[in-house]
Structure 1
């Protein structure tokens, strides 16, 4: 009887809530909502792939919080500007999507924001590996293989995201192609600005008091940041270990 009473109370609370909020129109967050045909495994795969830009964005935030490197911050600022360019072009061109989905997607479809974002990211990584990492002294086969894997993985991901947007009827082929072209062009322009204009200013920026407070750093001249951080932390741990051992009283 107590369980029946509790269930009845729960139902009454739900009905009362729905009655009080009957005039509210509930809107899903379309930013992370991806639809695919029921039972279509390929469509489900492309739906998951379509979420990759959000994973990349989360990775940017994590790197900025824990690494605080100026080049990473500049790269992230480029992605934000790239999104602003996409939003501006969409409202200038005003071309609708190939399939309407009620009120889920009321924005325009030309150019594809997913295609523009992922191609901007992939091409920027390509330039970074090709131009910024060429001076690394480690020219081993493993190092070269890792560069090929990184670039190939980014290009393949960009291709899959672009194909998925057409397959799931979120964009037409022309919308995806235009988005890819704009992303590639903006990545080229932004990398040139960062490499030629912003990077020479990084030493002056990190010398500012605000940069010291936020612990912002410039690792441009360090060829292998991971190896540098690994060796530095290991040396520091050994030095502290020796100090602790020296402080211990002798028996």
Structure 2
């Protein structure tokens, strides 16, 4: 009976040399895109239903489809070090991890700078001292761990930076004007989809309204 070759799902399958503490740290850093997708976008969309965040996530998905299309078209091999990791069954140029993180970093920074939605300019510090360092460390981790060459991660970073900036411009120039219509649509009303990008300080707005509702007469009656 012929042996059927196996193919691994390598999304969270990150290897490093045993005993290498830096490699261990960078292996976890390499999983940051997964944490952002599951812990950040999925939970935020599920519990807040923000249109700006939804289109942020859509942009990341489009970016990853573009990445996969380029990879399959160019078909550039990963470095020889990848053979030892047993994950060379996919192409390497451009790096999808680097593309994801730099797309996320530039879009998040622009949201913070223009104070759109729940983000404010104060959160630029979060972008400068957390998001961008994570993006750079992710880029470095892919080379250090042997999954990509320097050229492959820089190609991914450059493409992610460009696509992130371009998608931000498209969303907030051409699509944002349709957010009210999406809110009032059957889809929007059914799933409680909302746009808060016109509110300068969303956290304060929600805080004030929550306190106001608690003190409202009808709220007290329902509580009784």
Same fold flag (TM > 0.5) = yes
Shift of 1:220: 1.4
Shift of 1:111: 0.3
Q: Which has the larger radius of gyration?
A: 1
Shift of 1:224: 1.4
Distance 1:114 1:242, change over 3 A: closer
The total of aligned residue pairs comes to 219
Q: Does 1:31 align with 2:11?
A: yes
Shift of 1:241: 8.4
RMSD of Structure 2 on Structure 1 (CA): 2.5
Which stretch of the first structure deviates more once superposed, 148-157 or 166-175? 148-157
Aligned to 2:92: 109
Q: Does 1:53 align with 2:30?
A: no
Contact map agreement 2:15 2:85 (CA 8 A) in 1: no
Shift of 1:106: 0.8
Q: Does 1:192 align with 2:184?
A: no
Contact map agreement 1:118 1:161 (CA 8 A) in 2: yes
SS in 2 for 1:110: coil
- Residue among 81, 84, 90 paired with 2:65: 84
Q: What TM-score comes out, normalization by structure 1 length?
A: 0.80
**Residue by residue, what CA displacement relative to the aligned partner does 1:99-143 show, whole Å, maximum 9, x if unpaired?**
225753411000000000000000111111122459x9xxxxxx7
- Residue among 199, 208, 220 paired with 1:243: 220
Contact map agreement 2:51 2:195 (CA 8 A) in 1: yes
Q: Which runs of no fewer than 5 residues in structure 2 stay unpaired?
A: none
Contact map agreement 2:115 2:121 (CA 8 A) in 1: no
Aligned to 2:135: 158
Aligned to 1:119: 102
Provide the C-alpha distance between the structure 2 equivalents of 1:102 and 1:242, rounded to a whole number of angstroms. Answer: 59
Provide the C-alpha distance between the structure 2 equivalents of 1:221 and 1:43, rounded to a whole number of angstroms. Answer: 44
Distance 1:242 1:69, change over 3 A: closer
Shift of 1:25: 6.3
Provide the C-alpha distance between the structure 1 equivalents of 2:78 and 2:10, rounded to a whole number of angstroms. Answer: 14
**Residue by residue, what CA displacement relative to the aligned partner does 1:190-213 show, whole Å, maximum 9, x if unpaired?**
000011011111111111122101
Provide the C-alpha distance between the structure 1 equivalents of 2:146 and 2:183, rounded to a whole number of angstroms. Answer: 46
Contact map agreement 1:125 1:151 (CA 8 A) in 2: no
Contact map agreement 1:43 1:168 (CA 8 A) in 2: yes
Contact map agreement 1:166 1:173 (CA 8 A) in 2: yes
